[in-house]
């Protein structure tokens, strides 16, 4: 998996939890600070209002001491009556300028050294003393913050609707200056349940809001986790089988192989059902998908702990299996394919299996799987199930194929593909009667590259079409030069690959190339292989008819190498038949092979076709073919393929 793709998947899966938690913490902290600020301000406001009410009573009491006369009994009686009416006033203490007691209603005396001024706004400070058992100097703000404690809250809740339930009492000496006297009035500042009830309700509402907010965040947090798991499941789920997909195989497989120690060996396996597309063509795509799902269930049951299996595509599966030895691995794979074959009781399925045995230090499972695929690609299309192990030579072949594909276009542009000619000799006079154009690649770095090293690659990737056109044009150009020079011109055959016959205008295409050099069509022979007959037969027959009507010589190459030679001769009119070289090789060439050659030559004569025997390497073969009235011989006995200049020197002088 590429690094950029891996990053995109990680980004998609990433759980953004920490920003979420941080955001929740900040918002809850803000709410808490707001609540605490509100509570502090509210309680402090209640205390201040109560203090101001007590101050007004203290002012009235102090006013009664104006023009105080200790000898006047009526004045003292008036003061005592007023104190009886002021229920919250506990004591009055009066001193003169020297702070000597003048009058007192009780033995309770103020602690003058704790007197303090508190500003209630409008720059109107109140002089008072707060009674407290501790020695610290208390303030109204401090008292306000201390009132709403846990005990106080419980007392409010236990008041059961009694608004006059006292939850806190503050004893305050109010200090008033009257004439030359200082009047100390001790008031009980009572804080009732009603005073704090609304505040408590607000506090509870804020608590409910915070709780709801926290619950919302918690549910969102859970939702994020669930969605993350769901996203991960979607990412790693295959939509065809419902099992794990290729991304999961790569991620989990790499983790398994990166373990520092594991007891068993591991093998990466590419298993594919051959001719799956043919199955879908016969029974339908839906049945094909059902078969793929059934195969997936069978394979899933064969997977052990620490192993992997996923569906890849088109009835192919990637597996990571643990094994003890190669023989045990083969037996297990055979058992797996046998179980897969039991899915359809009336039909045998065929499988190809590529295996790569993992070395201890190899951890890139994608590359290892590619090696298994490469090994599987080396198998042919035979009917029986085949198993093949990857080896280094396979990789070398793949590297070579890549190099060929990288260089083929520049090679065509730079004329690195050179034309070689192999003479065709007549049996009657043993003189030049034709030639076959063969391609050779002279690479600037690799040197001479034989055809079997690049032609099969070109046939697979389609470049053979361009190479065939190139060869045809080179021969047409060369024939045109020889005609202008007055040299002897013989028909030269050029191969036309089966891929060309997918074009309905192939005949017109060939004519346009040859006519560009004004070359007579009869000096160009077009060789097609018997395998072309298995493609679109009607297009092939129509193309051959057009080419023959245009004057080209049309021949069938490698006659006898296929399985339907006689059938192709029945339906297609040709000018030349080339006998495959295998007829003349091996021990069987002296009896059965030569008998078949004799009969084929006789058949060709009756069909008015010329016979060319290729691969001839001995005088005995030449004499036999001459006796059988074979027309032309091509092979190393007379000449190997040679460059055009050498061909000119030998035959055209």
C-alpha–C-alpha distance, residues 312 and 183, integer Å: 99
C-alpha–C-alpha distance, residues 432 and 633, integer Å: 10
Give the residue among 421, 422, 433 at the shortest CA–CA distance from 488: 433
Q: What is the mean pLDDT of residues 470-482?
A: 94
- Return the top range by mean pLDDT from 26-35, 67-76, 98-107: 98-107
Q: How confident is the model at residue 154 (pLDDT cuts 50, 70, 90)?
A: low
Helix (H) / strand (E) element for 633: namely strand 632-634
Q: How confident is the model at residue 215 (pLDDT cuts 50, 70, 90)?
A: confident
Check residue 604 and give its pLDDT: 86
Check residue 542 and give its pLDDT: 86
Count CB-CB contacts under 10 A for residue 231.
14
- Return the top range by mean pLDDT from 53-67, 132-146, 257-271, 310-324: 310-324
Check residue 404 and give its pLDDT: 92
Q: What is the mean pLDDT of residues 336-363?
A: 87
Q: How confident is the model at residue 561 (pLDDT cuts 50, 70, 90)?
A: low
Higher pLDDT, 370 or 135: 370
Count CB-CB contacts under 10 A for residue 414.
11
Check residue 150 and give its pLDDT: 53
Check residue 320 and give its pLDDT: 93
Res. 555: pLDDT tops 50:
yes
- Residue 612 · residue 577 · CB < 8 Å: yes
How are strands ordered across the β-sheet holding 308-313? 308-313, 316-323, 265-273, 351-357, 386-389
Res. 240: pLDDT tops 90:
no
Q: Provide the total of helices (H) and of strands (E) in the chain, helices listed first.
A: 20, 21
Res. 265: pLDDT tops 70:
yes
Window from 232-241, 433-442, 446-455, 563-572 with minimum mean pLDDT? 563-572
Res. 94: pLDDT tops 70:
yes
C-alpha–C-alpha distance, residues 74 and 144, integer Å: 41
Window from 46-50, 149-153, 304-308 with minimum mean pLDDT? 149-153
- Residue 437 · residue 446 · CB < 8 Å: no
Q: Mind listing the pLDDT tens digit for each residue in 406-440?
A: 999 999 999 999 999 999 999 888 899 999 999 99
Give me the chain's average pLDDT, please.
Answer: 80
Check residue 583 and give its pLDDT: 76
CA dihedral 50, 54, 55, 57 (to 10 degrees): 150
- Give strand pairing partners of 191: 168
Higher pLDDT, 648 or 148: 648
- Residue 256 · residue 320 · CB < 8 Å: yes
Q: What is the mean pLDDT of residues 345-349?
A: 81
Window from 7-16, 272-281, 500-509 with minimum mean pLDDT? 7-16
Q: Mind listing the pLDDT tens digit for each residue in 21-55?
A: 666 666 667 766 666 666 656 667 777 777 888 88
C-alpha–C-alpha distance, residues 482 and 480, integer Å: 6
Higher pLDDT, 386 or 207: 386
Higher pLDDT, 121 or 527: 527
C-alpha–C-alpha distance, residues 460 and 326, integer Å: 32
Higher pLDDT, 98 or 319: 319
- Return the top range by mean pLDDT from 29-33, 168-172, 213-217, 485-489: 485-489
Q: What is the mean pLDDT of residues 90-108?
A: 82
Res. 319: pLDDT tops 50:
yes
Q: What is the mean pLDDT of residues 358-369?
A: 88
Q: Please give the domain boundaries of the chain with CATH numbers for all domains.
A: 18-88+135-170+189-207 (no CATH), 246-390 (3.30.70.270), 407-652 (3.20.20.450)
Give the residue among 153, 116, 160 at the shortest CA–CA distance from 138: 116
Q: For the chain, report the end-to-end CA distance as a whole number of angstroms.
A: 63
Query: What does each C-alpha distance from 564 to 461, 500, 540, 579, 602 come to in angstroms?
Result: 26, 20, 15, 14, 18
Helix axis angle for 285-302 and 276-283, nearest 10°, is 130
Portion of the chain with pLDDT greater than 70, in percent: 77
Beta strands in 163-246 (DSSP E): 166-178, 181-192
Query: 């292989």: which residue's tokens?
Result: 529
- Residue 106 · residue 83 · CB < 8 Å: no
Q: What is the mean pLDDT of residues 503-511?
A: 88
| 3-class SS of residue 252 | helix
Q: What is the mean pLDDT of residues 317-337?
A: 91
Res. 161: pLDDT tops 60:
no
CA dihedral 371, 376, 380, 383 (to 10 degrees): 170
Portion of the chain with pLDDT greater than 90, in percent: 25
- Residue 46 · residue 191 · CB < 8 Å: yes
CA 579 to chain CA centroid, nearest Å = 54
Window from 42-46, 185-189, 226-230, 531-535 with minimum mean pLDDT? 531-535
Please calculate the CA angle 430-435-437 and round it to the nearest 5 degrees.
155
- Residue 449 · residue 403 · CB < 8 Å: no
Beta strands in 530-628 (DSSP E): 553-559, 576-579, 610-614
Window from 77-81, 313-317, 321-325 with minimum mean pLDDT? 77-81
Q: Token pair of 335, please? A: 């058992």
C-alpha–C-alpha distance, residues 479 and 491, integer Å: 9
Check residue 383 and give its pLDDT: 46
Q: How confident is the model at residue 258 (pLDDT cuts 50, 70, 90)?
A: confident
Count CB-CB contacts under 10 A for residue 85.
8
């Amino acid at each position: 998996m590429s690094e950029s793709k891996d990053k995109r998947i990680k980004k998609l899966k990433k759980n953004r939890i920490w920003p979420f938690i941080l955001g929740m913490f900040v918002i809850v902290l803000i709410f808490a600070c707001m609540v605490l600020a509100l509570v502090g301000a509210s309680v402090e406001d209640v205390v201040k209002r109560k203090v101001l009410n007590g101050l007004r009573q203290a002012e009235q009491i102090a006013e009664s001491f104006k023009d105080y006369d200790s000898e006047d009994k009526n004045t003292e009686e008036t003061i005592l009556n007023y104190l009886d009416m002021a229920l919250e006033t506990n004591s009055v203490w009066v001193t003169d300028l020297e702070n000597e007691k003048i009058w007192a209603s009780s033995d309770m005396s103020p602690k003058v050294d704790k007197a303090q001024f508190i500003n209630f706004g409008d720059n109107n400070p109140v002089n008072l003393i707060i009674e407290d058992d501790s020695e610290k100097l208390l303030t109204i703000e401090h008292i306000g913050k201390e009132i709403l404690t846990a005990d106080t809250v419980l007392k409010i809740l236990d008041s059961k609707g009694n608004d006059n339930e006292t939850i806190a009492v503050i004893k305050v000496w109010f200090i008033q200056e009257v004439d030359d006297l200082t009047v100390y009035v001790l008031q009980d500042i009572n804080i009732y349940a009603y005073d704090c009830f609304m505040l408590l309700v607000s506090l509870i509402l804020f608590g409910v809001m915070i709780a709801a907010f926290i619950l919302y965040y918690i549910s969102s947090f859970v939702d994020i986790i669930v969605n993350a798991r769901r996203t991960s499941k979607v990412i790693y789920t295959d939509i065809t089988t419902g099992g794990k997909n290729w991304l999961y195989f790569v991620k989990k497989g790499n983790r398994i192989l990166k373990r520092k120690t594991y007891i068993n060996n591991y093998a990466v396996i590419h298993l594919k059902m051959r001719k799956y597309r043919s199955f879908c063509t016969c029974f339908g795509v839906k049945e094909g998908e059902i078969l793929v799902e059934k195969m997936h269930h069978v394979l899933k049951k064969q997977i052990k702990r620490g192993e992997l299996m996923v569906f890849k595509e088109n009835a192919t599966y990637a597996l990571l299996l643990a094994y003890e030895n190669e023989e045990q691995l083969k037996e297990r794979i055979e058992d797996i394919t046998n179980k897969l074959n039991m899915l359809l009781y009336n039909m045998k399925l065929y499988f190809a299996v590529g295996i790569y045995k993992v070395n201890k230090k190899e951890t890139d499972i994608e590359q290892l799987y590619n090696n298994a695929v490469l090994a599987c690609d080396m198998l042919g299309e035979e009917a029986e199930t085949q198993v093949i192990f990857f080896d280094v030579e396979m990789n070398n072949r793949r590297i070579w194929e890549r190099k060929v594909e990288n260089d083929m276009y520049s090679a065509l542009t730079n004329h690195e593909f050179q034309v070689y000619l192999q003479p065709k000799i007549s049996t009657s006079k043993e003189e030049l009667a034709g030639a076959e154009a063969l391609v050779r690649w002279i690479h600037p770095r690799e040197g001479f590259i034989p055809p079997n090293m690049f032609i099969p690659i070109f046939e697979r990737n389609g470049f053979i079409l361009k190479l065939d056109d190139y060869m045809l044009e080179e021969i047409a150009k060369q024939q045109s030069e020889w005609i202008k020079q007055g040299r002897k011109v013989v028909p030269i055959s050029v191969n036309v690959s089966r891929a060309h016959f997918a074009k309905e205008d192939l005949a017109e295409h060939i004519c346009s190339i040859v006519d560009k050099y004004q070359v007579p069509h009869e000096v160009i022979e077009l060789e097609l292989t018997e395998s072309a007959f298995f493609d679109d037969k009607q297009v092939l027959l129509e193309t051959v008819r057009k080419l023959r009507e245009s004057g080209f010589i049309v021949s069938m190459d490698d006659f006898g190498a296929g399985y339907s030679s006689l059938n192709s001769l029945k339906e297609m009119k040709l000018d030349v038949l080339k006998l495959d070289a295998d007829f003349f090789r091996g021990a069987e060439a002296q009896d059965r092979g030569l008998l078949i050659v004799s009969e084929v030559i006789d058949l060709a004569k009756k069909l008015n076709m010329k016979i060319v025997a290729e691969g001839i390497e001995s005088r005995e073969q030449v004499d036999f073919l001459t006796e059988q009235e074979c027309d032309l011989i091509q092979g190393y006995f007379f000449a190997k393929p040679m460059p055009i200049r050498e061909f000119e020197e030998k035959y055209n002088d």
